[in-house]
Structure 1
Amino acid sequence: MWSLWGLLLCEALLPIVVISVQVLSKVGDTVLLVAECPPGFQVREAIWRSLWPSEELLATLFRGSLETLYHSRFLGRVQLHSNLSLELGPLKTGDSGNFSVLMVDTGGQTWTQTLNLKVYGAVPKPMVQVFTAATEEAQPPNTCQIFLSCWAPNMSDITYSWRREGTINVDVELHSLFSNGQVLSVSLGLGDKDVAYTCIASNPVSWDMATVIPWESCHHESASGKASYKDVLLVVIPISLFLILAGLFGAWHHGPCSGTNYLSVPDDF
Structure 2
Amino acid sequence: MWSLWGLLLCEVLLPIVVIGGVQVLSKVGDSVLLAAECPPGFQVREAIWRSLWPSEELLATFFRGSLETLYHSRFLGRVQLHGNLSLELGPLKTGDSGNFSVLMVDTAGQTWTQTLHLKVYDTVPKPVVQVFTAATEEVQPPSTCQVFLSCWAPNISDITYSWRRERLMGVDVEPHSLFSNGQVLSVSLGLGDKDVAYTCIASNPVSWDTATVTPWESCHHEAASGKASYKDVLLVVVPISVFLILAGLFGAWHHGPCSGKRKRKDAVTDRVVPETENPLV
Report the TM-score when normalising by structure 1.
0.78
CA offset at residue 93 of structure 1?
A: 1.1
> What's 2:160 paired with?
159
Matched residue SS, 1:194: coil
CA offset at residue 134 of structure 1?
A: 3.5
2:186 is equivalent to residue 182 of structure 1: no
CA offset at residue 12 of structure 1?
A: 2.4
Alignment of 1:119-198 (within 5 A): 119-135=120-136, 142-168=143-169, 170-173=171-174, 175-198=176-199
2:74 is equivalent to residue 73 of structure 1: yes
- CA separation of 1:174 and 1:192: change in aligned 2, threshold 3 A: farther
Q: Distance in 1 between matches of 2:62 and 2:170?
A: 56
CA offset at residue 221 of structure 1?
A: 1.5
- CA separation of 1:136 and 1:99: change in aligned 2, threshold 3 A: farther
Q: Distance in 2 between matches of 1:71 and 1:224?
A: 58
- CA separation of 1:188 and 1:21: change in aligned 2, threshold 3 A: same
Cα RMSD after superposing both structures: 1.9
> What's 1:257 paired with?
none
Q: Distance in 1 between matches of 2:109 and 2:12?
A: 13
CA offset at residue 96 of structure 1?
A: 0.9
- For 2:8, the aligned partner's letter is L
Q: How many residues align?
A: 221
CA offset at residue 29 of structure 1?
A: 0.6
Q: Deviations over 1:36-57 (max 9, x none)?
A: 1111111111100011111110
> What's 2:8 paired with?
8
Q: Distance in 2 between matches of 1:92 and 1:47?
A: 23
- For 1:93, the aligned partner's letter is T
Q: Distance in 1 between matches of 2:92 and 2:175?
A: 40
| Deviates most, 172-181 or 45-54 | 172-181
Q: Distance in 1 between matches of 2:34 and 2:6?
A: 24
CA offset at residue 175 of structure 1?
A: 5.0
- For 1:121, the aligned partner's letter is D
Choose 1 or 2 for highest CA Rg.
1
> What's 1:37 paired with?
38
CA offset at residue 135 of structure 1?
A: 4.3
Q: Distance in 2 between matches of 1:91 and 1:61?
A: 23
Q: Deviations over 1:94-126 (max 9, x none)?
A: 111111101111112111111111111110000
**Does the CA contact (< 8 Å) of 1:14 and 1:110 recur in 2?**
no
Please, which runs of 5 or more residues in structure 1 have no aligned partner?
226-269
**Does the CA contact (< 8 Å) of 1:162 and 1:197 recur in 2?**
yes
> What's 2:200 paired with?
199
Q: Distance in 2 between matches of 1:32 and 1:94?
A: 17
**Does the CA contact (< 8 Å) of 1:51 and 1:98 recur in 2?**
yes
Q: Deviations over 1:160-218 (max 9, x none)?
A: 01010122364412551111111100000000000000000001111000000000011
Matched residue SS, 2:221: helix
Q: Deviations over 1:2-43 (max 9, x none)?
A: 822110122123321222111111111111110011111111
- For 1:64, the aligned partner's letter is G
Q: Distance in 2 between matches of 1:171 and 1:66?
A: 51
Q: Distance in 1 between matches of 2:107 and 2:196?
A: 67
Q: Distance in 2 between matches of 1:146 and 1:189?
A: 11
Matched residue SS, 1:100: strand
Matched residue SS, 2:167: coil
**Does the CA contact (< 8 Å) of 1:194 and 1:215 recur in 2?**
yes
**Does the CA contact (< 8 Å) of 1:175 and 1:186 recur in 2?**
no
Please, which runs of 5 or more residues in structure 2 have no aligned partner?
227-281
Q: Distance in 2 between matches of 1:26 and 1:12?
A: 32
Q: Distance in 2 between matches of 1:113 and 1:136?
A: 68
- For 2:107, the aligned partner's letter is T
Percent sequence identity is: 90
| Deviates most, 209-218 or 89-98 | 89-98
- For 1:17, the aligned partner's letter is V
Q: Deviations over 1:229-254 (max 9, x none)?
A: xxxxxxxxxxxxxxxxxxxxxxxxxx
Q: Distance in 1 between matches of 2:172 and 2:151?
A: 18
- For 1:21, the aligned partner's letter is V
**Does the CA contact (< 8 Å) of 2:163 and 2:172 recur in 1?**
no
